[in-house]
Amino acid sequence: MKRRKPIHDLPHLRNHRKSLRKNLTPAEAFLWNELKTQKFHGLKFRRQHSIKNYIVDFYCARYKLIIELDGDYHDRPGQFKKR
C-alpha cells in the first residue's frame, strides 16, 4: 500500500504560521476568540493551518471546512502579485 504524502502543516511553513498566529488581524482575533473554546457547535478549529503551500485562517478537520477572512493584507503589493 502506497503511503500518501502529507499535505497538512508542512515544516517549511512552520515559522510563517507561527508569525501569523502572533499577528492576527482584529477580525481574526475576534473570530478566534469565539472558535478557540469550541463555542461554535462544539467544533474544533485550528488557526493559521497550512494545507499544501497555502495557509488558511481557520480550519475544521472534521468537516474539512476552511474559513478565510479578507482584509487589507490581501491588498498589499506582494499578495496582489500572487492572485
Overall average pLDDT of the 28-56 stretch: 93
**pLDDT > 90? residue 32:** yes
Predicted pLDDT at 63: 95
Q: Beta-strand (E) ranges in 1-83?
A: 46-51, 54-60, 65-67
Contacts of 30 (CB under 8 A, 6+ apart): none
Tell me how far apart the alpha carbons of residues 14 and 40 are, in angstroms, rounded to a whole number.
26
Helix (H, G, I), strand (E, B) or coil at 14: helix
Kindly report, residue by residue over 53-70, the tens digit of the pLDDT.
Answer: 999 999 999 999 999 997
Overall average pLDDT of the 22-48 stretch: 92
Task: Give the chain's end-to-end CA distance (angstroms, integer).
Answer: 37
Confidence of residue 76 (pLDDT cuts 50, 70, 90): low
In the numeric block, which cell numbers belong to residue 66?
Answer: 476552511
